[in-house]
Amino acid sequence: MTSRHTPLHQIHEQAGASFTDFSGWSMPVRYSSDLAEHHAVRTTAGLFDLSHMAEIRVVGREAAAALDYALSGRLSVLENGEAKYSLILNDRAGIIDDLVVYCLAQDDYLIVANAGNRDEVVAELTARVDRFDASVRDDTDQTVMVAVQGPVAREVLDAAPELHPDTELSDLGYYRITSAVFRAESVDTPLWVARTGYTGEDGFELYIDKDHGAALWQALVAAGVDYDLQLCGLAARDTLRLEAGMALYGNELHPTTKPAEARLARVVDKEKDDFVGKAWLVEHPEPSTRILVGLVAEGRRAARAGYPVVDPGTMDVVGQVTSGALSPTLGYPIAMAMVERDYKDLDTELHLDVRGQMVPARVVALPFYRRRKD
């Protein structure tokens, strides 16, 4: 299969990026060093191209009601400019994908889904809104999505003279989105600026027409010079999101994973009249036998996805690592793992089978890393 390129591919090549295939897209995995890019997001700011992610619009008079039926959360409560993290479930309440829903207007919603699930999410949404006065449009190919993440992310955006948000970014709350204008060579291009992210830091995600994506990227790079803004690839994004304890589709989330197993019951509103997956959840109110936990381990060897989690007394396998890395920020190995519920309590001692070596680990609360909020 030939990898797809984002509209910024050439810019990444010129910047010296290494590429990796991700869900059929050739994406920058790193520009300089995974660790340097990771630390930049924790200390200054990082710039990511996320154009592989799916941008799906649900529009129409009954768009809000349609989303209440199609997704796990109650989206109809969103005011203009508000966002919500949600799930799209199958009939057995398994997770088809996790996504962020932005209310652009009461009849216009932007849904950001994972690249690999784009076609399925579009197809499911299209089928589910059929009974409503609403329609689904896949804008992925027309959209460049970039993220600026880190403690000085807002300063970087404010320093870009081309960027004119309709709401002052210092007044834009977390999980809020504002319309904006990108003014380059006296041409105004509309875009959306959201205060959301996947790194555990303050940060912004910007959505602009693909023809103006390169100019936006270059403007952000120029604005970031005084702030040590680093270009960041998917390797840094993965360690950042793991430290932030955020689930990743394909690792923590699968079509067989129930929301409560991934500790996402809070984003399922069982009080809603009806939604896809509700019937199964009502019929199966008892807790599942497994649940996601955070683990910290000794030494410097990281357990990776798929490694067994072992009861140190019986040596029985009691779970499986879903994501793991040596935390660049914390300096010790961290992992998320799906374990039997008997092993979910904080401070439970477990072993991680790291290629045959038993590494002591302990259950901890998620996230592993929480930024200091001033």
Instruction: Pick out the residues of the known binding site for substrate.
Output: 205
CA distances from 50 to 65, 104, 109, 117 (A): 29, 20, 19, 15
What are the two backbone dihedrals, phi and then psi, of residue 157, each rounded to the nearest 5 degrees? -65, -40
Q: Which of 59, 326 has the CB closer to another protein?
A: 326
DSSP 253: B
> Pick from 72, 117, 140, 239: which binds another protein (CB under 8 A)?
239
In this structure, are strands 229-231 and 45-49 parallel, antiparallel, or unpaired? Answer: parallel
Q: What single letter denotes the amino acid at residue 36?
A: A
Binding residue numbers: 205
Distance from C-alpha of 141 to C-alpha of 147, rounded to nearest angstrom: 17
Reduced to 3 states, what is the DSSP secondary structure of residue 333? strand
**Applying CB under 8 A, which part among 96-104, 135-143, 176-184, 298-306 lies near another protein?**
298-306
3 and 25 Cβ atoms separated by less than 8 Å: yes
Shortest CB 328 distance to another protein, Å = 6
- The answer to the question of residue 306 lying near another protein (CB under 8 A) is no
Distance from C-alpha of 142 to C-alpha of 174, rounded to nearest angstrom: 26
> Pick from 270, 284, 300, 370: which binds another protein (CB under 8 A)?
300
Shortest CB 323 distance to another protein, Å = 11
Q: Which of 38, 52 has the CB closer to another protein?
A: 38
Distance from C-alpha of 359 to C-alpha of 74, rounded to nearest angstrom: 42
> Pick from 28, 46, 259, 328: which binds another protein (CB under 8 A)?
328
- The answer to the question of residue 350 lying near another protein (CB under 8 A) is no
38 and 243 Cβ atoms separated by less than 8 Å: no
> Pick from 63, 145, 194, 325: which binds another protein (CB under 8 A)?
325
- The answer to the question of residue 355 lying near another protein (CB under 8 A) is yes
Calculate helix-pair angle for 234-243, 34-43, nearest 10 degrees: 50
DSSP for 83-132, written as a single string: EEEEEEE-TTS-EEEEEEEEEEETTEEEEEE-GGGHHHHHHHHHHHTTTS
Q: Which of 36, 184 has the CB closer to another protein?
A: 36
Binding footprint of another protein, residue count (CB under 8 A): 19
Shortest CB 10 distance to another protein, Å = 18
Q: Which of 29, 122 has the CB closer to another protein?
A: 29
| Token pair in block for residue 240 | 């950042």
The site map against another protein for 16-55 (x = CB under 8 A) is --x----------xx--xxxx-x-----------------
| Angle in degrees, CA 162, 168, 173, rounded to 5 | 125
1 and 24 Cβ atoms separated by less than 8 Å: yes
Q: Which of 143, 329 has the CB closer to another protein?
A: 329
Shortest CB 261 distance to another protein, Å = 26
For another protein, the binding residues (CB under 8 A) are: 18, 29-30, 33-36, 38, 235, 238-239, 300-302, 304, 325-326, 328, 355
